Copies of this chain bind each other. A is one copy, B any other.
Amino acid sequence: MKPITPVILCGGSGTRLWPRSRADLPKPFLPLVSEASLFEATLERCADPGLFAAPVVVAGGRHVAAVEAQVPFGGTARLIVEPSARNTAAAIALAALRLDPDAVMLVCPSDHHIADTPAFQAAAVAAATLAAQDWLVSFGIEATAPETGFGYLLRGEPIGDAGFRVSKFVEKPDAERAREFLASGHYAWNGGIFAFRAGAFLAELGMHRPAMLAAAQEAVARGHEDGARFHPDAASFGKIASESVDYAVMENTARAAMVPATMGWSDIGNWQALHAARAQDAAGNSACGPAELVECRNVLVESDGPRVSVIGLEGVIVVVDKGEVLVTSAAGAQLVGKLSGAVNQ
């Protein structure tokens, strides 16, 4: 099999992980689960030269320094600097236009955690196999809870041994439908990991979003290289509508496929999700930084310096970072991005 080209998207702002995640150094670039940042761990998962080509990283200008500090671009890795934020469809289009049409791209968000790298790589190979046959492939991540924060994929007919057709894309469900999806066993989470042949992706984009394709082509044609960096033209790129790749392409194509993936995945979408991904003691507590926990259960403490002393609490998250203190219930973790501190950065 031809090497797969990892396309790493660094677009997320991670406001629900405020105050650790900040606008200037957001979630992908933080060592949240291990000593490596989520971005570094994403690159590491795609570093096997027997499977993968050099990566293409797509990031905003504000984060170029963070990207270059964490990945050695002296090699063959390349960076596409987005002039503005235009969501995933446009970001993937830029990468596809910079690659050989026959290259198989594996699109990976830079801010997810995957515990089982061999399982990830096996799914990547299966997805690349289908992508080489011009399927547009989503990773269908095994649903392990009735999550209302993710989109779902309804599994269709098998395509050989490698995967399945997607018979339906479902937007974030309410709690009752999420429980039905989980019970049925036919639904998987849409985790935002995709495999495409570059030319096939662009052909589908041209079919469903011709203006977006034209603007992306113009942005690339008028762009310029600067060492390993590529700068698309800002004016051309600015004309592109902000749309997710799901909405612009995947829900419209007749060739949507999925590969099942059971790989210890988490989008680390909020502090509660981070707590779940973390090593915990027998009482379910997890502390990073100086902390004393007394009579606590399922408590997460994160501190960048000040000592945190917690007594008699269950299911509470305490984060101290750069002069901000956050204390939230597990359920409240969903609301962190709406706090004044997170909004007014």
Contact = CB atoms under 8 A, between A and B. Distances in A.
Q: How large is the interface on A (under 10, 10 to 19, 20 to 34, 35 or more residues)?
A: 20 to 34
A326 interface: yes
Contacts of A306: 320, 323-325
A140 B245 CA distance: 74
A342 to B, nearest CB: 8
A182 to B, nearest CB: 24
A309 interface: yes
B312 A325 contact: no
Nearest to A329: B312
A294 interface: yes
A325 B313 contact: no
A303 interface: yes
A283 interface: no
Contact of A341 (B292, B329, B331, B338): B292
Nearest to A291: B325
Given A325-B306, A325-B325, A312 B295 contact: no
Q: Which of A305, A308, A309 counts the most B-chain CB atoms under 10 A from its CB?
A: A309
A142 to B, nearest CB: 29
A295 B332 contact: yes
A310 interface: yes
Contact of A324 (B307, B311, B336): B307
A292 B324 contact: no
Contact of A332 (B303, B312, B326): B312
Contact of A311 (B308, B309, B335): B335
A329 B313 contact: yes
Nearest to A323: B306
A284 B295 CA distance: 25
A215 interface: no
A196 to B, nearest CB: 39
A207 interface: no
B313 A316 contact: yes
20 contacts: A292-B340, A292-B341, A294-B338, A294-B339, A295-B335, A303-B325, A305-B323, A306-B324, A309-B324, A309-B328, A309-B339, A311-B328, A311-B332, A311-B335, A312-B328, A312-B332, A313-B329, A316-B327, A318-B325, A320-B325
| Minimum-distance CB pairs A-B, first 4 | A312-B332, A311-B332, A312-B329, A311-B328
Interface of A: 19, 292, 294-295, 303, 305-313, 316, 318, 320, 323-329, 331-333, 335-336, 338-341
Given A307-B341, A309-B327, 16 more contacts: A294-B332, A294-B338, A294-B339, A295-B335, A303-B325, A309-B324, A309-B340, A309-B341, A311-B326, A311-B327, A311-B328, A311-B333, A311-B336, A313-B327, A313-B328, A318-B327
